[in-house]
Structure 1
Amino acid sequence: MNLNNPETFKALFKRAAERKGSVRALEVLLGKKILGKKLLDDTAAQQYVAELSDDRILAAFTKQIFKSGFVWRVVENKWPDFEEHFFNFNIEKMLMMPEEMLERKAADPKIIRNYNKVKTIKANAQMMFDITMDKNISFAQFINDWPSEDIIGLWAYLKKHGQRLGGNTGPYALRLLGKDTFILSSDVEAYLRAQQIIDGGLQSKKSLTAIQAHFNKLKTES
């Protein structure tokens, strides 16, 4: 690895601006709406996440789980039926749902019929409920309070205690919710390898630690 001379934020921004035609063009692009919400500064973003209701977090987790390995457009088109079938992802109602009802709902053609993914709704609702009981805060506040400088720690928590929230599923859901997180897309991975920030498996602890350190450095420089 070469952690001594990775590209600086200034150099990266300059290169991106040249590729997009100008600094102004890049700033306009960065200011566009992402996932239906405009980019927020750190303070506003934290307030936004903290004020979310936990049902919206469970909905975001579930949507990304169903999008994984599937056509996103189909998931979006069927999403109103998901909301109706699963009580708008109300945590308490999901926890009280018997397995027989869950199986019936999973077989309904109005939603995407994948019982293994449907089961994650109740399991992830339980994870969220356990946090609220243990820490006496909402799960939204739990996410909000987790430092972005250790976002890989939150990824690891969701992967360990939730269901099907590993890989990029958890990070995509967090991004959807407004949490400050990077995404390890194929382009990002290619960049990290070109800069010799990582040279092993993308999801290894060694690589994730190096990636987190690099993004922390870029954030400090920006």
Structure 2
Amino acid sequence: MTEIKNLEPFTDILKRASERKGSEDFVLDMAGHTFNKDEIAQIPDSMWLAAFTKQIFQSGFVWRVVENKWAGFEEVFFNFDIEKMLMMPDEMWEAKCKDERIIRNGKKVMTIKDNAQMIFEIAAEHGSFGQFIANWPAQDVIGLWAYLKKHGSRLGGNTGPYALRRLGVDTFLISQDNEAYFRAYKHIDGGVSSKKSQKSIQDCFDVWQQKTGYSYQALSRVLSYSVGDNFVGVDTNGR
């Protein structure tokens, strides 16, 4: 197990989060549920494309508006059927970019085509995109993020990680609260998106995971509950 200087015991973090939110049971319950490898492998390719698309459109935009328009997205894009996406000619894509049933952002709309191509190619090699994700090494979360950023369209930053979590993949997030924590404890000092910073954060979560048995999602959410503004209602979407 990697030894990390000045790494706070997670029992202390959990205790602090419990004191802030009311109880340990409440905190752990709010940490949420993740799927196992078999469940991840069964997720249809269309659901991955839908999750990536929704997260891309919600990035930098009012989430409620995307939710209100989502039925239109599903109708316009044939419920994100991968083969249908890739069979559409350029003229049809141009028309869909202007469809009033969706949010008409041409650059984001075209990520659907690009990400459909990525999912199709990976599924052809691995049996399905879900199978590919399920077989990704559990302790290489940042490697999966990097892969999606490199091979997908607009899946960098927290967009890819948020989409993965949306479908039950066990991943931590580098939220503002969590970033502030790692800076305060001197585990990172550069840009949070740098390979050095992300490797340091991955190492911390790996040690906590090995010592506690909690999922990366639970560790990430409990950590965020232990720092930052202490709101009475806890929003788990971005933790």
Asked if these proteins are the same fold (TM beyond 0.5), I'd say yes
Residue deviations 1:71-94 (CA, integer Å, cap 9, x gap): 000001100110010011011100
The runs of 5 or more residues in structure 2 that have no matched partner are 213-239
1:24 paired to 2:15: no
Alignment pair present for 1:218 and 2:219? no
Change over 3 Å in CA distance of 1:78–1:8 after alignment to 2:
same
Question: What is the CA-CA distance between 1:6 and the residue it aligns to?
Answer: 1.3
Quick one: distance in 2 between partners of 1:129 and 1:22?
A: 45
Does the Cα contact within 8 Å between 2:50 and 2:80 map onto a contact in 1? yes
Match of 2:61 among 70, 85, 93: 70
Distance 2:31 2:140 in 1: 24
Tell me which residue corresponds to 2:198.
Answer: 208
The one-letter amino acid paired with 2:119 is M
AA matched with 2:21? K
Superposition deviation, residue 195 in structure 1: 1.4
Give the distance between the partners of 1:46 and 1:210, measured in 2 at CA. 25
Task: Name the count of aligned residue pairs.
Answer: 210
Match of 1:34 in 2: none
Contact 1:55/1:90 (<8 A) preserved: yes
1:117 is aligned to 2:118: no
Take 2:29 and 2:199, find their aligned partners in 1: how far apart are those partners? 31
Q: Deviations over 1:92-149 (max 9, x none)?
A: 100011111111111011100001000000110111111122x241001101111221
**Residue 7 of structure 1, CA deviation:** 0.8
Deviation at 1:30?
3.1
C-alpha contact (below 8 Å) 1:3/1:196 kept by paired residues: no
Structure 1 length-normalised TM: 0.90
Question: Distance in 1 between the 2:28 and 2:58 partners?
Answer: 29
Rate the CA distance shift 1:190–1:139 in 2: closer, same or farther, 3 A.
Answer: same
**Aligned 8 A contact 2:76 2:96 in 1:** yes
- Of 82, 90, 93, which aligns to 1:99? 90
Which residue in 1 is equivalent to 2:9? 8
Q: Do the aligned partners of 2:141 and 2:171 also contact (CA within 8 Å) in 1?
A: yes
**Given the superposition, is the C-alpha separation of residues 125 and 28 from structure 1 closer, same or farther in structure 2, using an over 3 Å criterion?**
closer
Counterpart residue number, 1:193: 183
The letter for the 2-side match of 1:189 is: E
What pairs with 1:112-151 in structure 2 (closer than 5 Å)? Answer: 112-133=103-124, 135-151=125-141
The corresponding residue for 1:84 is: 75
- Is the Cα contact below 8 Å between 1:83 and 1:89 reproduced in 2? yes
What one-letter code is carried by the residue in structure 2 that aligns with 1:158?
L
The answer for the alignment partner of 2:230 in structure 1 is none
2:126·2:132 contact (CA, 8 Å) conserved in 1?
A: no
Residue in 2 that maps onto 1:52: 43
